[in-house]
Amino acid sequence: MRDIVAEIRLPTQELRNDIPFYTKALGMRLDMIYPADDPAVAVFSGHGLRLRIEKSATELPGTLRLRMDDPDSFADGARVLFAPNGTRIEIVEMHAPLVMPETVNAFVVRRLADQAPWIVGRAGMQYRDLIPDRLGGSIIASHIRIPDGGPVPDMVHYHTVGFQLIFCYRGWVDLVYEDQGEPFRLHAGNCVIQPPEIRHRVLYASDNIEVIEIGVPAEHVTTIDHEMTLPNGPGNPDRSFQGQRFVHHRAADAVWAPFRLPGFQARDTTINDNTQGVAGVSVMRRGAGEPVWTRHDADILFTFVMEGSMTLEGEDREPYNLASGDAFVVPPGMMTRYADPSDDIELLEVALPGVFATVLA
């Protein structure tokens, strides 16, 4: 196989000024320079880069980002430098801390009948946004589908998140996770949480698979892991990923109990316990009694209507008639009632934090 070397070309006005900057200030190696009598081209390498700096180049000088474990020990602690040729150098942390935006609370209703566009995203999957304003960037809720089943063109990857839920709404999907043993099938009604930075891969999907995915915060980085192969050995279900344990909740094994809202019962997914209270996830259905007016003090309370129908009543709001595929967010302190639930009503509720107070009117 022939060797291939890639170079990034940058312009300069005077190469002699660039050589000491790239070799001394940035610690790169000078690999090539010519012509000897009046240098016009120099090639530098280092930090995973190979730069070709030319007097005749017409490109813009661009920006280089240097990621490192200890930025303060590099370039006398500077975070931004400018090379003599005009290139901007940004010096950043290798693993920047996760920033959790403050929640901008709002009452949100998103109906399937509104025909919000489906956007083609990663690995060819189609996404429908369930919280368009994303509550100030604090959360993203997506309705995801793959119309044609079969192998999914996915790679081993991980997400830098505070919390992430995958709930199988329709069909099934085959998944594999780091330290969780062999691949398994996630059936409709079941869910998993993907703890921060757990490596995983989507393998195979049924026709018309649909999932609900919740991510906190809304904007988070997905990183491809080219080194890890999954499965990676026997399962280790007790492993903690930044304080959270992997959960594969199966509806068939769940126990139903009275819910925080009169008129409903719910099955606990154990997600609150396994995230140490970061989030709670419940599946609700019709229970004893009649719905009443309530309010809560959760930071985020998101609900997706999986089956059946209901009327969402809110103080100073017109009632919303909701059906399967609809979603809503109720802000803390707002009085609401889940009125007229059908006998086949089934709701997915995601709360952050996992434990919060509900007050009955």
CATH of the domain at 75: 3.10.180.10
Answer whether residue 100 is part of any domain.
Answer: no
Q: Which residues contact 29 (CB under 8 A, 6 or more apart)?
A: 23, 44, 45, 46
Pair 143, 238 in one domain? yes
Pair 68, 29 in one domain? yes
Answer whether residue 101 is part of any domain.
Answer: no
Describe the chain by its helix, strand, coil percentages, rounded to 5: 10, 45, 45
Pair 333, 267 in one domain? yes
Pair 160, 268 in one domain? no
Question: What's residue 246's pLDDT?
Answer: 98
Please state the rounded mean pLDDT for residues 2-8: 91
Question: What's residue 1's pLDDT?
Answer: 64
Domains of the chain: total: 3
**H or E stretch including 322?**
strand 320-323
pTM of the model: 0.89
At position 332, the amino acid (one-letter code) is P
Question: CA 277, CA 85: separation in Å to the nearest integer?
Answer: 52
Provide the strand spans (E) within 27-77.
Answer: 29-34, 41-46, 49-54, 63-68
Question: CA 16, CA 12: separation in Å to the nearest integer?
Answer: 10
Pair 300, 195 in one domain? no
Answer whether residue 105 is part of any domain.
Answer: no
Q: Supply the range of the domain harboring residue 65.
A: 8-93
Q: What is the mean pLDDT of the chain?
A: 95
Asked whether the predicted pLDDT for residue 116 surpasses 80, the reply is no
Question: CA 309, CA 325: separation in Å to the nearest integer?
Answer: 10
- Residue 343 to residues 264, 284, 285, 286: CA-CA distances in angstroms? 11, 12, 8, 6
Answer whether residue 319 is part of any domain.
Answer: yes
User: Which of 89-98, 110-119, 149-158 shows the lowest per-residue confidence on average (mean pLDDT)?
Assistant: 110-119
Provide the strand spans (E) within 94-162.
Answer: 108-110, 119-120, 126-129, 140-146, 150-151, 157-160
Query: Percentage of the chain with pLDDT > 70?
Result: 99
- Residue 140 to residues 99, 155, 241, 300: CA-CA distances in angstroms? 14, 22, 21, 11
Pair 118, 49 in one domain? no
Pair 76, 49 in one domain? yes
What does residue 297 show for φ and ψ, rounded to 5 degrees? -125, 20
What CATH number did the domain enclosing 192 receive? 2.60.120.10
In the numeric block, which tokens belong to residue 178? 């780091």
**H or E stretch including 273?**
helix 271-274
Please state the rounded mean pLDDT for residues 308-318: 96
Pair 25, 116 in one domain? no
Q: Which residues contact 48 (CB under 8 A, 6 or more apart)?
A: none
Question: What's residue 51's pLDDT?
Answer: 97
Please state the rounded mean pLDDT for residues 88-94: 95
Pair 130, 215 in one domain? yes
The 10s digit of each residue's pLDDT in 254-286 is 999 999 999 999 998 999 999 999 999 999 999
The 10s digit of each residue's pLDDT in 21-54 is 999 999 999 999 999 899 999 999 999 999 999 9
Question: CA 247, CA 98: separation in Å to the nearest integer?
Answer: 22
Nearest Cα neighbor of 319 from 163, 109, 38 is 109
Query: Which of 244, 276, 309 is where one domain is finished?
Result: 244
Question: What's residue 118's pLDDT?
Answer: 85
Question: What's residue 181's pLDDT?
Answer: 97
295 burial level (CB within 10 Å; 0-12, 13-18, 19+)? middle
Answer whether residue 54 is part of any domain.
Answer: yes
Answer whether residue 1 is part of any domain.
Answer: no
Asked whether the predicted pLDDT for residue 122 surpasses 90, the reply is no
